[in-house]
Amino acid sequence: MSFLAIAIGNTRIKAVIFGSKKQILEEYAYTHEQLPNLEAKLATRDFERIAIASVVPNIITSWHHLQQTQIITTADVPLQGLYSTMGCDRALAAYGAGETYGYPVMVIDAGTAITITGIDAHKNLFGGAIVAGLRSQFACLHQNTAALPNLPIPETLPRRWATDTHSAIQSGVAHLLIAGLQSYIDDWRSQFPHSQVIITGGDRDRLVKWGLKVDMIEKNLVFLGIMALP
């Protein structure tokens, strides 16, 4: 069976093709503006099943209205206590993590926004948090001040005590974010000492490189969640 799964996030559109044994055969990633490229790439392919999970309602693909397409919402994710405004990508990532690596589980999704989601041993939402992602934090400082520049994200963790404006921005964003995330991880582990802490999202590798202490990096949690749906 050929199965196409699409995840439309705040910044990018990702797609994977699953094989008959639920293994990922192909992966694609495009910006929103590049959606026609993805559609052209797969235009000649026939899929027995298609699933779309989106947090951007106004982006409609050529697959949305096909008979074999399922539009996934948060209500379709079989976890308890999920609230109606929770993004379906966040719910799917938590479900994919739990079904793949076991419950309880904590998921950090480091994308345009950084989300933290904890699911207990009984598949109930324990709670979580949302904060602006790395690129969003740098852009926000630039857009909301008169003199601060829009800086790139540093590859390595900056010095904590900066002596110029550029370094001070990079240090503040990086160190405060890592410290805050680590505080959530430490608190989670104090309550669920045998739980896995898993990170996903576009900035996952960078945060781990900066010293964030997680148990596992998994880039395809949303798609694992889609594949695990009953």
Q: Which residues are known to be catalytic? A: 89
Q: State how far the Cα of 85 lies from the Cα of 145, in Å rounded to an integer.
A: 31
Which tokens sit at 134?
A: 């790395």
Which tokens sit at 174?
A: 């990086």
Count of CA atoms in the C-beta half-sphere (13 A) of 104: 18
Which tokens sit at 149?
A: 């520049």
Decide: helix, strand or coil at residue 28.
Answer: strand
Find out whether 119 and 99 touch, Cβ atoms under 8 Å.
no
Look at the block and give the residue holding tokens 């740098």. 138
Sign of the Cα pseudo-torsion (60, 61, 64, 67, in order): positive
Which tokens sit at 128?
A: 């979580």
Decide: helix, strand or coil at residue 12.
Answer: strand
Torsion angle in degrees (nearest 10) through CA of 51, 24, 203, 9: -10
Query: Which candidate, 167, 131, 138, places its Cα nearest to that of 153?
Result: 138
Cβ atoms < 10 Å from Cβ of 106: 26
